[in-house]
Amino acid sequence: MARILIIGGGGAGLVSALSAQKSGAEVMVVSKTVPTRSQTSMAQGGMNAVLGGEDTIARHIEETLRSGAGLGEEERIAFLCENAPDAVRWCNLLGLPFSCDAEGEIARRRLGGASAPRACHAQDYTGLKLLHTLYDQCLKAGIAFRNERFLLNLIVDHEENRVVGATFLDIASGEVEEIRADAVILATGGYGAIYGKHSTNAVGSSGDGLAAAVRAGAKLADMEFIQFHPTALKNSSILISESARGAGGYLVDEQGDRFTDELAPRDVVARAIHDEISKSGGVYLDIRHLGEEFINHELPQERKLARIYEGVDPVNDLIPIKPSAHYSMGGIEVNEACMSSVKGLFAVGECANHKTHGANRLGGNSLLELVVFGRHCGAKAAEYGAKNPASSSSNPQLAKDTNFVRGVMYFTNQIDFYQKQEMLANIFYNNVGLVRDDMGLKAVLGAIRQMQKELPFMGPRDKSKVCNTNLVEFIEFGNKIELAEIIVVSAISRVESRGAHYRVDAPVRNDRMFGAHTVTWKEEGVLCADFME
């Protein structure tokens, strides 16, 4: 029986787990938190699927492709959209409590960039309810969980370019352990937390899986593409779902006047808001005209969040907003079978680049992606593992990582990494955000290289072996720095504007030179980048 190790207990990890087990594999899910605490719980808007009516799958494909601005691949997008109705039916059969319309059909709402109401939802708790439904099904299936394990590195047989397992820090005990497997699926989520307080993401979205993958020799693709959600709360960057605009909410300036099409794709709306804020100082979301009853029923979470974090009641008040880093389009480069450039290493969900979102993701396509590709990836990994059992020969990775965790305690701590982390978040938001230019990017690259040199002079100040979250946060910071360099190098290389990547010094899309994926990898620790079809 193939042993499949799944790293990450969010939606993508749990769907893959169910699928791999159904394909006959022995599955273990290892997560740095309790699975229901994953980032997926924060997804609000819905899951796109064409379920009849006037809408067509061809339109779903076309709109996803258009939003991707030339970097989405038609075949994979077709796979995503054609499998969407079945994905929604599958979730329904698992018990996901979708909202229903008056006819008893699964309720759908229109999100930005879509020509029809297509996002199947469970109020504004779609991600939460999907994640919990999946978790319950995993318990039913008897899937083994190892929670509160922090991924350190993948174990790779370099001769064969073949993954054979991974090493983890057991956070509670402080011990380093290895788990061997015939195939490994990374489902570790995105890297939005690099933007710190300017991101809608959970604090743990530090790209640990991507950083481990690149250290293991895997390729990443399109890392410069980071989606900014148009409407996060101004002070906390907490997300206000696109469904608020889908339901008819307005974006207004300081004078209360509308200034843009609220339902254009996210990159367009986010830049319009950015420009308006630069011009007049503030932008607000106005949903007052939707009425208290509608808000309570359809947008209960938004009302609660606006009250707690901004001190305003959307029934009576304007909601102050700003665009915030929201979704990582870039990720581990994978083929049609979701396998990376390292044999046996699969990736799925936000940490992967399935080439479906291209340069800009459509709202409602990320939950869809994790279900469609999760089912596919689990089956493919199980198949690969069954055909290619990994050898259990000895590997130095566990010893190396054990030494690292011991050694990091002796780092000198002359420099406070929390301070550097905050600085990284601010310079990323300002210079690697919605609007970029060569000079600004190069300044950030200089700062990142400096931080890389300074890492040994930072380190955890907490010396406890047991449950050392200061240590975990320091390693997360290391991962952020590793990826930050790759993101900025990719952004410098792409001297054009496309989707979420907007360069004021090259505002036009240039297909002839840059109509390709930015592929990055490391050779002997040196970062390499190239544009590849």
| 470, 207 contact by CB (below 8 A) | no
**Nearest alpha-carbon partner for 22 in 380, 332, 266:** 380
| 445, 496 contact by CB (below 8 A) | no
- Between CA 519 and CA 113 the distance in angstroms is 27
Of 149, 266, 271, 498, which is the active-site residue?
266
**Residue placing its CB nearer to another protein in the complex, 74 or 101:** 101
**Residue placing its CB nearer to another protein in the complex, 132 or 354:** 132
- Between CA 150 and CA 465 the distance in angstroms is 14
- As measured in angstroms, the least distance from the Cβ of 51 to another protein is 12
**Residue placing its CB nearer to another protein in the complex, 105 or 175:** 105
- Between CA 112 and CA 135 the distance in angstroms is 29
- As measured in angstroms, the least distance from the Cβ of 469 to another protein is 5
**Residue placing its CB nearer to another protein in the complex, 71 or 351:** 351
- As measured in angstroms, the least distance from the Cβ of 418 to another protein is 4
- As measured in angstroms, the least distance from the Cβ of 270 to another protein is 19
**Residue placing its CB nearer to another protein in the complex, 204 or 265:** 204
Beta bridge partners of 185: 6, 346
Token pair recorded at residue 263 = 């339902």
**Which residues, including other chains, have CB under 8 Å from residue 498's CB and lie 6 or more apart?**
69, 70, 71, 359, 509, 514
- Between CA 157 and CA 159 the distance in angstroms is 6
Three-class secondary structure of residue 380 per DSSP: helix
Q: How many CB atoms lie within 10 A of CB 430?
A: 15
- As measured in angstroms, the least distance from the Cβ of 346 to another protein is 25
Q: How many CB atoms lie within 10 A of CB 51?
A: 14
Would you tell me which residues interact with another protein (CB under 8 A)? Answer: 33-34, 36-39, 41-42, 89, 92-95, 97-105, 122-123, 125, 128-129, 132-133, 136-137, 139-140, 145, 147-148, 172, 202-204, 236, 238-239, 301, 304-305, 308-309, 418-419, 422, 460-462, 464, 466-470
Annotated active-site residue 266? The verdict is yes
Bridge pairing between strands 26-30 and 144-146: parallel
Token pair recorded at residue 286 = 């106005």
- As measured in angstroms, the least distance from the Cβ of 104 to another protein is 3
Beta bridge partners of 47: 120
Q: How many CB atoms lie within 10 A of CB 92?
A: 14
- As measured in angstroms, the least distance from the Cβ of 5 to another protein is 18
**Residue placing its CB nearer to another protein in the complex, 125 or 346:** 125
**Which residues, including other chains, have CB under 8 Å from residue 216's CB and lie 6 or more apart?**
153, 154, 156, 163, 342, 345
Token pair recorded at residue 99 = 């909202």
Q: In whole angstroms, how far apart are CA 163 and each of 55, 373, 399?
A: 43, 21, 17
- What's the angle, vertex CA 527, arms to CA 525 and CA 532, rounded to 5? 135
**Residue placing its CB nearer to another protein in the complex, 267 or 473:** 473
- As measured in angstroms, the least distance from the Cβ of 170 to another protein is 11
Place of tokens 């890389």: 452
Burial class (CB in 10 A: 0-12, 13-18, 19+), 298: buried
- As measured in angstroms, the least distance from the Cβ of 468 to another protein is 8
**Residue placing its CB nearer to another protein in the complex, 33 or 497:** 33
Q: Name the DSSP class of 199.
A: B
**Residue placing its CB nearer to another protein in the complex, 39 or 260:** 39
Beta bridge partners of 529: 520
Within 455-495, residue ranges assigned H as helices are 469-493
Three-class secondary structure of residue 155 per DSSP: strand
Active site residues: 266
